[in-house]
Amino acid sequence: MAGKARKFGSRQEEAIVALLTQRNIEEAARAAKIGTRTLVRWLSTPEFKQAFFKARREAFGQAIARLQQGASAAASALLKTLVDPATPASVRVRAAEVIFNHSAKSFELEDIEGRLSALERTAEETTGTKR
């Protein structure tokens, strides 16, 4: 049991950082100053793999947050491109397509969120009445 609660050593933490910043496992192992086989072995253990995936999700989330900061400027650029008569027709059509696709996706997500919320409420009510 004590083995499951253990913290990663600094080498393993460095290996996770290296996996996030290097192009492949070999380069990550070199950057972390460990053998490739050691890194591959660590990657086959559930706790290291879980920690790596958690770090990767967090790094991806930070990247998405940075992109979201530019969403307003991107929307403005698309709309300006769409309405500018000097823009070639093919580019204007592509801008219109992107706007429609993202608008439709937004409606779909709102619909899914609403349906999921309703299901969660129903599940809570059902669970609450069974107790």
Question: 3-class DSSP state for residue 39?
Answer: helix
| Tens-place pLDDT, residues 51-100 | 999 999 999 999 999 999 999 999 999 999 999 999 999 999 999 999 99
> Is the pLDDT at 45 greater than 50, yes or no?
yes
Distance separating alpha carbons of residues 27 and 39, to the nearest angstrom: 11
> Is the pLDDT at 14 greater than 70, yes or no?
yes
Contact in structure between 26 and 15 (CB atoms under 8 Å): no
> Is the pLDDT at 119 greater than 60, yes or no?
yes
Q: Parse the chain into domains and list their residue ranges.
A: 9-69, 71-131
Q: Which residues contact 4 (CB under 8 A, 6 or more apart)?
A: 47
In the block, tokens 């070639």 appear at 88
In the block, tokens 């027709």 appear at 89
